[in-house]
Amino acid sequence: MRAESGRVLIFGGTTEGRIAAERLLHEGVPCTVSVATHYGEEVLAPHPLMRVRTGRLDRAKMAQLMREEQYVCVIDATHPHAKIVSEEIASACGETGLPCLRLQRRMEDQPAGAEGCGRPAIVHDIDEAAAFLASVPGHILVTTGSKELVRFVRALGDPSRVTARVLPAQESLRLCGEAGLAGKQIFAMQGPFDVEMNCAQIRHAGADWLLTKETGEAGGYPEKMEAAKRCGIRAVVIRASAKEQTAEQGSNAMDLDDTIEAALRFFDERSGSSKRVLFLVGIGTGSPKALTLEAQEAIASARVLFGAGTVLQNLTGTPGTRPMTSGKTVVPIYDSEGVLRYLSEHPQIRTAAVAYSGDSGFYSGAASMLAALRASQEREGGGTAPSAQPAKAAGYDVRLLCGISCVSWFSSRAGIPWQDWKILSSHGRFCNVIGQVRRNRECFLLLSGVEQLRRTGEQLADAQQRGVLGSLRLLLGYELSRPAQEIRECSAEDLAEAAKEGLYVLYIRHEDADRTPVLPGLPDSAFIRGKAPMTSSEIRALSLCRLGLTAGAVLWDVGAGTGSVSVEAALTCPDGRVWSVECREEALALLAENRSKYCLRNMEIIRGRAPEALKDLPAPTHVFIGGSGGEIGEILRAVLERNPGARVVANCITSETLAALKTALETLPVRDLQCMQVIVNREEKLGRYHCLRAANPVFIISFAGDGR
């Protein structure tokens, strides 16, 4: 972030100081603004990169302030007539070695007053002005502020002749009272004032004279002189002496544009690089109050802000506050290629930010942006970015900034520690909610909307009715961090009847999850049976062990039959997907019944004969072949074509199937080939005695494709 390179210190309290701060902040340069009064602080719009120091300082305190931070330069934007303050600033800069940029207010030649009303009376300080006005009759509108008001009125000798225009601050009103002014003698107002307002105040005060300083355009000097001309009164103008003007316009004095450019130059020299910066910013749960300070600073420093429409809308702020999108180019693009294309077409952009909802590392679009940047770097021959730096590609320093995720927000509001939660998302992706809840005591689910919430409620209610899930505690989170936020307990049936549109999350506590087995081992009686063949429990357990399913496995169960292998695999591996391939109608019906019995959302039934039915399935990581229909060789070739490294287990009961399998394996690239014959003897009771009855022997063949 540019803030790491230092800050610019501005001594302000003037229009030029405010404008200088706004322009530097717009360029992403952190600023500290020192103002003399609290009113000077109030007129500065809050900004994440700006700090304000209030109170009058002498040279020693100025030098102390300059040493407190890593400042790159100092801008003296104090009032043109505050000569002593400017001398103190310059002296403090000399003591600390900081460059001092004196922002010179433009002092153009002004009209000499209305024809017939006389030229303005030119004086060089407040005492000379008081002496002149004491020598002439008439009421006076004083527009030189409150600082020298007491001194002026005492020198004038008659407070009743004076109406003063001062800032609406307690200090200003106190000084008016000390000068002997009260009630209608005081205009407590903040400019700028146009000609019409100046005329109205002149008439209301019944003024014959207008006392002003030659403050240039920023101080409203032309409007005052035009108002005096229209109202037919004379002006008394305090003008710096020729010697003072020469000193003021010395080598270190410059106009606003030159001052800004010089400050930026000092800033870039300190940073040592002009490389462009791209922030990938997690903005949290939605409300601007949920943004981290780091995220606020990054967005504030960006000249261009990208993001989805809803995300950008969240950054506009609440009514009455300054939108974070103010003063910058806002582009409603969030896809990686679109953002990079825009930046490529606008090489003048030095600092940009892409805003993502939630946390940048939690189901965020920032991941695809990082991948796109790294791909761009590799195309340019830059190699792979080191782990400590997300990416340096296409001329950008890429900074990934975290946000407050809905997980931590919900956890804090619900009062439930989240370290043991299983984090799930069904927002735009497949999620086996029932399978995950069955195995995990605490789950936290991100949902895409009310329709998905209703479906989840229906699934949970169905799983409870079937006995797949036990006692549940459900906490629903709605529109987190926004004004409509709601966190409440509910039932699965309540979820199924939800009606309000919006963003939802769901906390699910399954009290019986600890009793869920982690390994396969359902008895044969746990399945709905028919005439379709079924792999027996012992063979099924050994086969699944040989298969070695991994967390995100994609399993093809070819010749699924009753579905016992598919069901056990889907239950054991809730993060995986099972594709059950079967062609017989009776078996298909049993597959559907057993899938429903266990509420399996990660098990898909495919009607058809292998290998033809396999061509449209996702590539497998694991394959179980329980029935081949005489096509074992073609099935294996189809498997290895889709994934040359797939793990395969086949069960063979007949000698013909075993022979065909061995013949096929002689021509296929496989490794880790193992073959075993399993004979299971079960004890049965015969009258008063028990004896063993042998089941049919089964060959279990396991191997992996040699496409490592």
* Residue-level pLDDT at 242: 44
480-484 LR contacts (CB < 8 Å, sep 24+): 480/285, 480/286, 480/406, 480/409, 480/410, 480/413, 480/505, 481/284, 481/285, 481/286, 481/287, 481/289, 481/290, 481/409, 482/285, 482/286, 482/287
pLDDT above 70 as % of the chain: 90
Distances (CA, A) of 470 to 32, 443, 495, 515, 598: 60, 14, 17, 10, 13
Q: Which residues of 592-612 are buried (b: 16+ CB within 10 A; e: fewer)?
A: eebbebbbbbbbbbbeebbbe
Return mean pLDDT, the chain.
86
Q: Domain boundaries in the chain?
A: 2-104+249-269, 121-244, 275-401, 406-515, 524-705
CATH number of the 524-705 domain:
3.40.50.150
Of these ranges, 247-251, 301-305, 385-389, the one predicted with the greatest mean pLDDT is: 301-305
pLDDT of 253 strictly over 70: no
Q: Are 336 and 365 in contact (CB under 8 A)?
A: yes
CB atoms under 10 Å from CB of 206, counted, come to: 10
- The CATH architecture to which 406-515 belongs is 2-Layer Sandwich (3.30)
Q: pLDDT tens across 127-153, in order?
A: 889 988 988 899 999 998 888 899 999
- The CATH architecture to which 275-401 belongs is 3-Layer(aba) Sandwich (3.40)
In angstroms, the CA 379 to CA 368 distance is: 16
- The CATH architecture to which 2-104+249-269 belongs is 3-Layer(aba) Sandwich (3.40)
Pick from 474, 425, 403, 103: which is nearest to 254 by CA?
103
In angstroms, the CA 146 to CA 13 distance is: 14
Q: pLDDT tens across 261-280, in order?
A: 788 878 877 765 455 789 99
CATH number of the 121-244 domain:
3.40.50.620
* Residue-level pLDDT at 113: 36
Q: pLDDT tens across 550-565, in order?
A: 999 999 999 999 999 9
Are domains 406-515 and 524-705 of this chain identical in fold? no
Under DSSP, the state recorded for 502 is S
Token output for 463: 């799983």
Pick from 574, 556, 546: which is nearest to 621 by CA?
556
pLDDT average, residue stretch 601-619: 95
pLDDT average, residue stretch 457-475: 96
Provide the whole-model pTM: 0.64
CB atoms under 10 Å from CB of 348, counted, come to: 6
Q: Where residue 5 falls among pLDDT bands split at 50, 70, 90?
A: low
Q: pLDDT tens across 284-343, in order?
A: 887 777 888 888 888 887 888 999 988 888 787 544 445 666 667 899 998 999 998 898
